[in-house]
Copies of this chain bind each other. A is one copy, B any other.
Amino acid sequence: MTALGIREVSEHTGLSIDTLRWYEREGLIPLVERTSTGQRRYPPAAVRFIALVQALRRTGMPVAEVRHFVQLGGGRLENHPVRLALLEAQRESIERQVDQLHEDLAVLTGKMAEYRRLIDAGLDCEDEVAAPEGGTGRHLRSTA
C-alpha cells in the first residue's frame, strides 16, 4: 500500500535509478517486490534497509562487504550477533575516520594560518620556491 516506485525511492534516497537496480542485482537490497507486470515496489522495510545500506556505503564499507552483511539471512535470530559484530566493526571504523578527518583538518588549518601570515607579511612561501622561471629567492627572511 505505502510501497514506493523506483523513481520515488531514487528521489527519496538520492541514489540514481540505475544504482538502485544495480545494488539490487548485487544483492545489497532485499525485500523489493514486483507488480504483476514486473515493476519494482519498495515496501517501507526495503526503504529503511536502503538507508542502512547507504550509511554503510557512505562510511566506506565496500559493496562486497555490504553484500556479505545482507546475505546473513532474512533477519533470522541466529545471525543477529554476527550482524551486530559487523556493525560494531564499522562503528569503530567510522570513529577512526572521524579522528583522521580531524587530523587532516588540523593540517589544513595549520597551512591556512601559514598562508594568512605570509599574506599579512607580504611574503612568498618559505618552502617551494621551485624555479618559477623568472628569478629565485626574491622573498625576504621571515619576520618571526
Contact = CB atoms under 8 A, between A and B. Distances in A.
A88 to B, nearest CB: 7
Interface residues of A, number: 55
Judged by DSSP, the binding face of A is helix
Interface in A59-116: 59, 73-77, 80-81, 83-84, 87-88, 90-91, 94-95, 97-98, 100-105, 107-109, 111-112, 115-116
A17 interface: no
Interface of A: 30-31, 45, 48-49, 51-52, 54-56, 58-59, 73-77, 80-81, 83-84, 87-88, 90-91, 94-95, 97-98, 100-105, 107-109, 111-112, 115-116, 118-119, 122-132
24 contacts: A31-B128, A45-B126, A45-B128, A48-B127, A49-B127, A54-B104, A55-B108, A58-B104, A59-B101, A59-B104, A73-B132, A74-B124, A74-B131, A75-B124, A76-B124, A76-B125, A76-B132, A81-B119, A83-B115, A84-B115, A84-B119, A91-B112, A94-B108, A98-B101
